[in-house]
Amino acid sequence: MKTTITYETKDYQIDLSKPLDISIPITNIAQNVNAWYVGHPKLEPHIDGEFTGSISAGSSTNFYDIWFNPHAHGTHTECVGHISKEHQSINQNLHQFFFLAEVITIIPVEENGDLVITKNQLKEILKDEAPKALIIRTIPNAKSKLTRQYSHTNPPYILEEAMEYIRNLGIEHLLIDLPSVDKEKDNGELLAHKAFWNFSGEVRLSSTITEFIYVPNFVPDGNYFLNLQVAPFENDASPSRPVLYKIV
């Protein structure tokens, strides 16, 4: 089912019948992707006296309670409220959900014992041009990313200078297949987050960071349309489902 989208005065054709979902779901198993030193999500029948919200337990309906942390347990989209004293809600700050996006693939390089994404790497790929949404796939890109337990593993991250480059290109929405754009243990500095949102200047309230995506290897680098689907939580971050569409 092909359709034409007019985006910033230009027409693009996409096929809505061929979505490319790059989200990681939240499950109730211990192998659910995880970070930040918390237990795995829980999806359990609600219990109230003799009532158990499960058809298999004799109820007329399935009626489950869900416990999870959006930052730790799967694909999520966050706003500047993640690092601001003032309450900022992703539901209030994100008002547009379709964006022209570019998928790029990067092999993080070693620097001071860490694996990092640098400004030079981004500059070499992007050539100082980028759409409003940038999607970063890191190498290696094994399917184990769907179940990896990241706590205490010091995953790759984006250097502050590289994030300033991303911001200065005008990229408003950044998506990455890591648990954070910052170093796991950085004494709360959060340099990449602060650089992206221009935290010390005119804060970019409508810009977002989406972490814990997974871009399969069969999805080539290049331009796509991104549908950034976000659950309407009044929170700094929310579970999300970014979906790509090829431009045909």
Domains of the chain (ranges; CATH) run: 2-25+74-246 (3.50.30.50)
Interatomic CA distance for residues 141 and 22, integer angstroms: 13
Q: What is the reported pTM?
A: 0.96
> What's the pLDDT tens digit per position in 16-58?
999 999 999 999 999 999 999 999 999 999 999 999 999 999 9
Per-residue confidence in pLDDT tens, the chain, 248 aa: 889 989 888 999 999 999 999 999 999 999 999 999 999 999 999 999 999 999 999 999 999 999 999 999 999 999 999 999 999 999 999 999 999 999 999 999 999 999 999 999 999 999 999 899 999 999 999 999 999 999 999 999 999 999 999 999 999 999 999 999 999 999 999 999 999 999 999 999 999 999 999 999 999 999 999 999 999 999 999 999 999 999 99
- Concatenating the DSSP letter of every residue in 53-73 gives S-GGGT-SS--EEEE--TTTS
Residue 50 burial (CB count, 10 A): 6
Q: How many residues does the chain have?
A: 248
Q: Which of 235, 213, 206 is nearest to 99 (CA)?
A: 206
Q: Quote the tokens at residue 184.
A: 């796991």
Which pLDDT score is estimated for 194?
98
